[in-house]
A and B are shown apart, each in its own frame.
Chain A
């Protein structure tokens, strides 16, 4: 019995390093800070490369839509909490913070617990970006997908019994994928019409038939800076097509008097 206790103690001692390093308060935050900074700097470098090539920051011939991180955060808030289960853990993300500095960054914060032990609750933080920004062909609104590329267990509070250092990365990967599938696409409240309509003129001496000019719209460029996400939209007008039946023919009269 004593021998068994000893082996357990030894086993625990050998397990401690991984958990200790992994669970060090501050280490995860530093790593997260570095991830965010690297992303921001890479985004800023790309903008500066554009300036160095003599190109403007905003796409010169395209419509530009700018939306602030606070606005998107407000749009996302009612969609919380986000809940997923993966690898025997349940994660609930209660907070979302968006920061458009160099890259459209998003940080989600919440709690994690083993599915079978809801009493053992830790804190979790996910860092990612808004990606795959496009125009929803159905509604014409802009939308974006959240890509999680970093997941930190901020406070483990007893979870070390369930998570060894070797499995942390795997757990993080599982949770990342689960979240990416679960997080709804973020809608950006800007709508791009797919056509311009010209109403018909049906009264008066001259009558015009209505027409429609289709527009091909696509995202041409995306960059973030100073708290704003900028989206370039290429708008290509198509051929104008008449719509509806021809209006009825009009008539008018003129009277003149004269003397020779």
Chain B
């Protein structure tokens, strides 16, 4: 008799379990079929969307030249143009030429049937300060370079120079007038002038970055100091003080004309463009990463560098390399995530081989 309630409980439990399993299976079957249908619809839409995007990508001119490596960096040429212009106008335009101790030496002889004398002129720039300015650059993207044309202007400036004129009279001139020396400091303005400069920025990919190296042919600018009227007047005053036969010599030699010619020719100054160091494009591969509190080098295999009308593309494949500062046994290198040992990606120097970030 006591077994009956227990039996009832077992029966109830069995029934409940059966109901539960059936109910669950039914619900599960329904939800599974709904789920499968939803997945099928999503897959169909996904494929259509992918096709549409594929078409859109194919039309995008900036995709041309894109590398196929695991890491790709693209710099739009519009941005490169803007940055380069900012650099030129912001950096070069701040350049102040400060010249000192530039000396021009000119010598010659004067003949009036016979040699009447020899002269030497030394013009020594004591101090010239001039401002440089550039015009809008023209850039061309292609190959491994950015072609660059720009006008460089000597905008303004001031300076002072010491004129040293020495006359060595010969024959009759020497007999009646002898030698003569004029030394005068003149001050004046730097004459503005413009110089077209054509060169290029050569781009090269290293294991971490793109470097832009300026390559310009020899660029010479000519600094002309125009002595003030007062300065010329002072020189003229010295010349006017020569009298008699010496005055005749001064007139024949046209000392003032000689001095003007020397000053008008100006002073050639070569811009040291070769000294301008490469500038890094501000996006590149990180040299190290932090893995489980360890600094780990990034091994880089540099891929293509492509410069098109629209984009500058750098491609690279990367892998985690050595743990920074870890000492490895000979023939063995510490590996990322395994600071105790293991073999890391090899390193090599040439493009196309694995490089360790530095």
List chain A positions with a Cβ less than 8 A from chain B. Answer: 2-3, 5-7, 9-10, 12-14, 16-17, 20-21, 24, 26-27, 30-31, 33-34, 37-38, 40-41, 44-45, 47-48, 51, 56-58, 60-68, 70-71, 74-75, 77-80, 102, 139-141, 187, 189-199, 201, 203-209, 211, 213, 215, 217, 225, 228, 233, 235, 237, 239-240, 242, 249-260
Contact = CB atoms under 8 A, between A and B. Distances in A.
B16 interface: yes
B102 to A, nearest CB: 5
Nearest to A240: B90
B283 A192 contact: yes
B97 A206 contact: yes
Contacts of B319: 74
Interface in B1-26: 3, 5-6, 9-10, 12-14, 16-17, 20-21, 23-24
A10 B16 contact: yes
Contacts of A217: 282
Given A9-B9, A257-B107, A191 B87 contact: no
Nearest to A217: B282
A196 B87 contact: yes
Nearest to A80: B337
Kindly list the 9 A-B residue pairs having the minimum CB-CB distance in the complex, ordered from nearest.
A78-B337, A6-B9, A251-B101, A13-B17, A193-B282, A44-B49, A240-B90, A17-B20, A71-B70
Given A37-B42, A193-B282, A187 B271 contact: no
B27 interface: yes
A29 to B, nearest CB: 10
Given A3-B6, A17-B20, A187-B289, 9 more contacts: A21-B27, A34-B42, A48-B49, A48-B53, A63-B283, A75-B318, A78-B337, A205-B269, A257-B107
B176 interface: no
Contact of A250 (B24, B100, B291): B100
B91 A198 contact: yes
A199 B275 CA distance: 10
A61 B50 contact: no
A143 B159 CA distance: 55
Interface stretch (B73-81, B181-189, B198-206): B73-81
Interface residue SS majority, chain A: mixed
B194 interface: no
Contacts of B57: 57
Contacts of A208: 95, 276
A21 B24 contact: yes
Interface string B96-134: 011111111111111100000000000000000000000
Given A34-B42, A257-B108, A65 B35 contact: no
A191 B285 contact: yes
B285 A190 contact: yes
Contacts of B66: 66
Contacts of A77: 337
Contact of B272 (A34, A189, A204): A204
Contacts of A260: 108-111, 258
Nearest to B95: A208
B272 A205 contact: yes
B14 A13 contact: yes
Interface in B28-49: 28, 31-32, 35-36, 38-39, 42-43, 45-46, 49
Contacts of B95: 206, 208
A78 B279 CA distance: 34
A31 B35 CA distance: 7
11 contacts: A10-B16, A27-B35, A30-B32, A71-B317, A74-B319, A75-B289, A77-B337, A189-B318, A215-B282, A235-B79, A256-B105
A196 B62 CA distance: 25
B327 interface: no
B71 A203 contact: no
B83 A237 contact: yes
B279 A190 contact: no
Contacts of B90: 211, 213, 239-240
Contact of B104 (A193, A233, A250, A256): A256
Nearest to B268: A254
B208 to A, nearest CB: 8
Interface in B124-167: none
A51 B53 contact: yes
B21 to A, nearest CB: 6
Contacts of B75: 63
B72 interface: yes
B280 A193 contact: yes
A198 B89 CA distance: 13
B123 to A, nearest CB: 9
B53 A196 contact: no
Nearest to B312: A63
Given A78-B337, A79-B292, A192 B282 contact: yes
